[in-house]
Structure 1
Amino acid sequence: MTGRENFAKLLANIGMATKMKTADPQLTVELIFLTPAVETLNKRQVMFKPVLEAIKEAKKTGIKIVACEVAMANVGLQKEDIEYGLVDEFASVGGLYVLQKIKEGYEVLTI
């Protein structure tokens, strides 16, 4: 993440996903963390605390959190750097994960 505008955009995406899921609990919502956003999952970085708290709130509504392992490797993030239980699934290649979801009929939304 570089710049406050990207940090704000990420928080806005998490917030919008949470509002969508709250408005329609039957809706399937997944947040997929790719590069560079995946580095905000690092529990050791104090500056990412607002993102981590927003993710925890999102999870309470039933949102699935997915992290791209390639993106994690690109930013030097290990699974041990992520709070246990925060991520529901680690996708080996995030782009392929997204492609598969699109083929299954999912829509990709970003703000």
Structure 2
Amino acid sequence: MQSVLIVITQGKEAFQRVRSLFHMSQVLAQQEETQVELLFLGPGVEWLRSNQRSSPLVAESLDQLRRTGIDIVACEVSLEAFGVEENNMLPARKVKGAVEMHKLIGQGFTVLSF
């Protein structure tokens, strides 16, 4: 089994880049014996705001990624730092970003950071 952690630290200014990362994540997850986790960290948590003009498109993309088997997670420290409140947030499992990365690296995940 190959396991990949994709860390998104790019904020909303990188719309096209992050949309490409969503596509890349899906392609990876469709490979046999491949597990993918997508972690929003730092400014990357801005993608999870549910009250923005692009939110419906992002929500649809994240739903599609979940259906492919990708685990969508967000750093709770970053969410707080960037003011992303739970009542204005797209669905994601909340974790402590550094702890999650450390755990997954220990499990042999390859980390790709963007």
Q: Which TM bucket (shorter chain)?
A: 0.7 to 0.9
Residues 1:2 and 1:90: Cα distance change in structure 2 (over 3 Å): closer
Q: C-alpha distance in 2, partners of 1:52/1:37? A: 14
Say whether the 8 Å CA contact 1:34–1:67 is kept in structure 2.
yes
What are the ranges of 5 or more consecutive residues in structure 1 without an aligned counterpart? none
* 1:17 partnered with 2:25: yes
Q: CA deviation at 1:2?
A: 5.0
Ranges of 4+ aligned residues in structure 1 off by more than 6 Å? none
1:104 pairs with 2:104 = no
Map of 1:56 onto structure 2: 63
Contact 1:40 / 1:52 at 8 angstroms: preserved in 2? no
Higher relative contact order (CA 8 A, sep 6+): 2
Higher strand residue share: 2
- Cross-structure match for 1:69: 76
Confirm whether residue 80 of structure 1 aligns to residue 75 of structure 2.
no
Question: CA contact under 8 A between 1:68 and 1:94: conserved in structure 2?
Answer: yes
**Relative to total residues, which structure has the larger helix share, 1 or 2?**
1
| Structure 2 residue runs without a partner (length 5+) | 1-10
Q: 1 CA distance for matches of 2:111 and 2:17?
A: 16
Deviation, 1:101, is 0.7
Identity of aligned residues (%): 28
**CA contact 2:26–2:68 (8 Å) conserved in 1:** yes
- Residue type of the alignment partner of 1:100: K
Counterpart of 1:95? Answer: 98
